Structure formats: C-alpha cells, structure tokens
Amino acid sequence: MLTPEQIELAREFSPLPEPPADPTNAVYEDLDAALLGQALFFDTRFSSNGEVSCATCHEPALGFGDGRKLAKGVAHHPRHSMTLWNVAYNRWFFWDGRKDSLWSQALGPLEDAREHGSSRLEIVHALADAPELVRAYTEVFGAFPNVSDSSRFPAAGRPVAEQPRHPHQVAWDTMSADDQRTVNRVFTNFGKLLAAYQRQLVSRRAPFDVFVEGLADNDPEKLAALSPSAQRGFTLFAGKAACHICHDGPTFSDLEFHSNRVATGEGVDPGRALGVLQLKVDPFNGASEFADDGGARATRKLQITPRGWHIPGEFKTPSLRNVAVTAPYMHEGQIATLAEVVHFYSTLEGAAPPDPKGEKLITAVQLTDAEQADLIAFLESLTDESLPAELRAAPAPADNATR
Amino acid sequence: MRHVSVSSFLVRFGVLLVLAAGFACQSDVAKQVPPAPVEPAPAEETVSWNEATSDVPARKVQWRVIDHDEVPRNEAFSMEVRVLSGESPTSLQRLDLKGWMPDHGHGFVQDPSVSTLDIGHYRVDGVLLHMRGTWELRLQLFDANGLDVVVIELEL
C-alpha cells in the first residue's frame, strides 16, 4: 500500500534504538541502582505529607502519567504531568527543558512545594532512617554519611531562591559548605537512582515497529500489524498533515521546543524562554560538580544553548509513542482526547493567535473526517506497553533494598 | 531526505545553492563562546570538500562535515570551513555560522562555536539542524572590507 518513498520514510521512524548513554550519571546502567531507584519511585516517605511518591503523578497504569488535566502532588500544579515512557531519550527535561539530565530532573519535584513538598535535608534524613535503604545505597555508592548530628544537619532545609527568610533557607545557611556538599551529594545520588529506574521505561515494540520490520523482511504477519487505516494514517502523518516536522524520528519528537498555538489558561507561561535561563544557573546541571563525567560535555552543551532565542509559550515536543494511553494532552492538559487533538490541528478551532515573532509551523491541515480517523488509527499503532510487570510496581521486598 | 541536486560531497543530502551577499543574517544573535577544545582534523584526503562561491572576487569557500558521514538531522555535528583567495588561504577577522529555515521562520536552537585552525581554516562545532526541511547555513565572513555572507542551502 505504501509507495517506495513512503516505505523509505517509514524506516526513518523505526526501530527506536537503545536510550542514549548518560555519562553524567555513573550508575545509569547499574541494575542495583535501578532496583533501588524503583523502590524510591514508589515510596511515599519522601514527601511532606507522607502520601506522595513519584508514582502519584506517574502511575504505571495510566501510561506513567496521572490522567489528570493538571498535576496534583501535595498541592495543585499549573502544568500537566508528562508521561515517563521513553523519558531517557530526551535531550531536555520538563515541558520547559529546565533540566539537562534525567537525574537532575528527578530532583525538581522532590523540593517543589506543589509536588513532594520536601527538602533535600528531609530526603537525606528519611534515607538515613531507613536501614534497608541505607544498605542498598551503600552497595551502589559506598558509605552513607553520618548525618545524625542535628546541629550540623538540620531536620529540614534547602536553598530557596530569592527567599532568604524561608525556614528551609535559614536552616541551610546554618550549615558548613562541606556539610552542604555532603547533603547535595546524597541528594543527587537519589536522583541518579531514580534515573536508573526510569531509564528502563522503554516502549519500542509497537505495531508500527513490527510493521516496519515486516517491510524489511517482507513478513506478511508483521505487515498485518498495521491496519490499512493506520497505513493511510502514516501517509497523512508524514504527508498532508506534516506531523513529522516536529514529531520526527524514532522518538517521534524533535526533542526541542515550539509553540503549537493551543490556547492556554490565565497568564502567560513562559515555557522554554524561562526554562533555558533556569537551566544555565541550575546547581545540578550537567556542568556541575555532581555530573559524573566532569562536566565537560554538558558545559559545552550549555555554552552553546542560546538564552534569547525563544518566545514565551514554547514547550517541548512530546514523543508520540504510547500517545493513545497518555491522555489528556498538552502542557496544561487542555485537550482531553486524541481525537480532539487531531481535530485541533486539522481546523485550529480555538487556537491562540500566532506570535508574529514566532515560528511559522502551525497551520490548519484540514483533514476530512475519514483522514482524521486514519491518523488516529496510526497514532494508536504507536502503543506498546509491554514493559515487564515487575517494573510497574515497587519491587518485592526479597528483590529490593530490604534484602 | 530528498535529493535536490548533486554535489561533490558524496552523501545523501543535496547542496542546493550557494549564494553570497552582503546582507545581515536574520537568525538569532549569537554570542561568542570560548573555543572548544580542538580535536585533530581528519586526514586531508579522507573527506572531500564542498565548494561554495562567494561574491567577493576570487574568494572561494570550502566546507565539509568532519565527524559524520553525512549532514545529520537533529544530531549535533562539526564541520570545517576553508576560505581561499585564488588557491591560497586568506585570513579573516572573524567567521560565524548562523542558521535559518525560511519555510519555518526560525534558526538554530543552539549557537555553534567557531575556532581557528590556521589561516583561513576554521572548525565549527555544535551545528544542530533539529528539523527536517530546507536549511540555510549562513557563513558570515568578516574582513577589512566588511561582511560577506555565504549561504549553503541544504534539504534535510
């Protein structure tokens, strides 16, 4: 059904290779680290109310999202929870790219007052109070520091930007630089454990991938993995609808930032325009002392990332793998269903006006109802949730840190 | 990727057009960054050069990708640029590289850095063509006579 040119194009989207290496995280491939990270991911002890874990907003049964329009941890959040499927393939993290590694991304929610609502000192103490976790940590990183002296290591504390009187900042300021570094080291290792687990959340054996394999070996069973409707949908995806301009390559994302003209709520979320500024001054960015590769590569990456290029309201292009199981959509969860997303791009009904300083990427692609159905069929063919069941929940005690 | 024209560069992209003009680049304003640690350039004969003709009389501009077999899409790469007057290298005050996608209305998402290897010989690191479509690589050549912009047009 596909033309030779379309077949060649399809091969640009599959297979998805292994996730890229992360030299800033020395334990990114360490299975013990991943197992401990998995335990931490589902553990609610690291939140201020003892009820929130990473899985609260990234629930495996909900496509490692939360199914909500806007996220809710210990409080409400103004952005939609991104799925964690294939998160390790990202170049930048969060909707606004304010982080440049998966481990550094994992630290943000822990201290966000709306998510875990905790602080790095509380995180470190919670770890220290769990002997089974300390044992597992020690196996990965070596000795766990003694943080029992409360005069040196307050119960709670962290840097709080532009709030010098915040209790967390006041407590943090009482600490010596060496003790702050000790806490930061454990805290960043916490993120590296979480990253080692999240790296395993890979989806790359969807019906579309099977179909592309079938194109190579002319296997009729594999070719049957993609329905005629989905095949037509692919030709629209990479043709008339031009979705592939942004959702490109095997990740189905260009990994960069755009305004898609979906109307937003009150106020202006600056998106990448602010995210890139935050990234450059982040004490845990890839150029920091906590990057295990010495920072050389990331320093370079940060140097050449421009500050002023982005207009307000640009957000990261999400991957489309597993898109059918990660509703709702967009950075504020503005669109409830995949059908509505396709309808939006087809008509631009309700779209925000284009920014005259912005890109000229978004135009109404004017798909017929049948074409919209075909495109949805193709998007649904990108679903692969065949992750082993043992990665979808906290590890069994015999297998994890409590062993 | 479409083949638009044939070039001396034996890869699958097409060099459409090389123009030279004294106009200002429309892409974002780049900052000067410290030069990257310069890795050894490949052996002279291993990768052929693409030719680009400037409007400046007798000036010839050559370029080649040095760390990939072809210009990659959405993967940072490095390139070399040589500027000749006749057959001899010619010195510039400065060389910059800007990017622009005329159909999309945007440029690079990162600013490549330029380091000098020799007289009229430059290395450009961190070139990222993050989207498919038509790209204009705009080499800005500054010398005592002003700005000369050489545009290398690529179809990715």
CA distance A259 to chain B (A): 12
Does one domain contain both A114 and A51?
A: yes
Chain A residues inside the 8 Å CB shell of B74: 248-249, 254-255
The answer to whether residue A304 is domain-embedded is no
Of A244, A256, A300, the CB nearest to B109: A256
Q: Is A255 helix (H, G, I), strand (E, B) or coil?
A: coil
Q: What is the DSSP letter of A91?
A: S
Instruction: Give the range of the structural domain holding residue A376, as residue numbers without chain letter.
Output: 1-16+205-269+318-403
* Sequential DSSP letters for A63-119: TTB-S-SS-BSSSB-SSPPPP-TTGGG-SSBTTTT-BSSHHHHHHHHHH-TTTT---
Weakest mean pLDDT among A47-56, A64-73, A266-275, B80-89 = A266-275
Number of domains into which chain B is organized: 1
Predicted pLDDT of residue A268: 83
CA A8 → CA A3, A57, A240, B134, distances in Å? 9, 38, 17, 19
CB contact under 8 A, B105 and A248: no
Q: Is B4 a residue whose pLDDT tops 70? A: no
CA distance B20 to chain A (A): 25
Most distant CA atoms of chain A, gap in Å: 72
Contact criterion met (CB below 8 Å) for A47 and A118: yes
| Closest chain B residue to the Cα of A8, Cα to Cα | B1
Q: Which residue has the higher pLDDT, A248 or A356?
A: A248
Does one domain contain both A142 and A8?
A: no
CB contact under 8 A, A300 and B29: no
In angstroms, the CA B112 to CA B141 distance is: 15
Predicted pLDDT of residue B52: 87
Chain B residues inside the 8 Å CB shell of A256: 109, 130-131
Does one domain contain both A42 and A3?
A: no
CATH number of the domain residue B128 falls in? 2.60.40.1930
* CB atoms near residue A126 (< 10 Å): 18
Does one domain contain both A262 and A354?
A: yes
- Three-state SS string over A293-318 comes to CCCHHHHHHHHCCCCCCCCCCEEECC
CA distance A31 to chain B (A): 29
Instruction: Give the range of the structural domain holding residue B22, as residue numbers without chain letter.
Output: 14-27+45-155
- The rounded mean pLDDT for chain B is 79
CB contact under 8 A, B109 and A244: no
> Which ipTM score applies to this complex?
0.91
The answer to whether residue A307 is domain-embedded is no
Query: Does A17 lie at the interface with B, CB-CB under 8 angstroms?
Result: no
Number of domains into which chain A is organized: 2
Radius of gyration of chain B (CA): 14
Q: Using one digit for the tens of pLDDT, what is the confidence trace for B18-53?
A: 333 333 333 333 333 444 445 555 555 567 999 988
Which residues does B contribute to its contact with A (CB < 8 Å)? 28-31, 33-34, 36, 73-74, 103-113, 125-126, 130-133
Predicted pLDDT of residue A250: 98
Type and span of the H or E element at A179: helix A177-198
Does one domain contain both A365 and A396?
A: yes
Does one domain contain both A333 and A263?
A: yes
Average pLDDT over residues A329-338: 98
Does one domain contain both A240 and A133?
A: no
CB contact under 8 A, B126 and A300: yes
Q: Is A399 helix (H, G, I), strand (E, B) or coil?
A: coil
Does one domain contain both A196 and A211?
A: no
Task: Out of A172, A201, A230, pick the residue that ends a domain.
Answer: A201
Report residue A133: phi and psi, to 5°: -75, -35
Query: With pLDDT > 90 as the criterion, what percentage of chain A qualifies?
Result: 89
Average pLDDT over residues B71-86: 96
Predicted pLDDT of residue A1: 79
Task: Out of A145, A180, A201, pick the residue that ends a domain.
Answer: A201
Query: Does A309 lie at the interface with B, CB-CB under 8 angstroms?
Result: yes
The answer to whether residue A387 is domain-embedded is yes
Does one domain contain both A261 and A325?
A: yes
CA distance A255 to chain B (A): 8
CB contact under 8 A, B30 and A306: yes
Contact criterion met (CB below 8 Å) for A376 and A288: no
Does one domain contain both A217 and A181?
A: no
- Pairing mode, if any, of strands B50-53 and B77-85? unpaired
CA A43 → CA A3, A12, A112, A190, A359, distances in Å? 50, 39, 17, 12, 42
CATH number of the domain residue A145 falls in? 1.10.760.10
Q: Where are the alpha helices (DSSP H) in A282-395?
A: 296-303, 338-347, 369-380
Chain A residues inside the 8 Å CB shell of B34: 303
Q: Using one digit for the tens of pLDDT, what is the confidence trace for A337-357?
A: 999 999 999 999 999 999 888
Weakest mean pLDDT among A76-90, A296-310, A362-376, B135-149 = A296-310
The answer to whether residue A168 is domain-embedded is yes
CA distance A299 to chain B (A): 10
* CB atoms near residue A399 (< 10 Å): 13
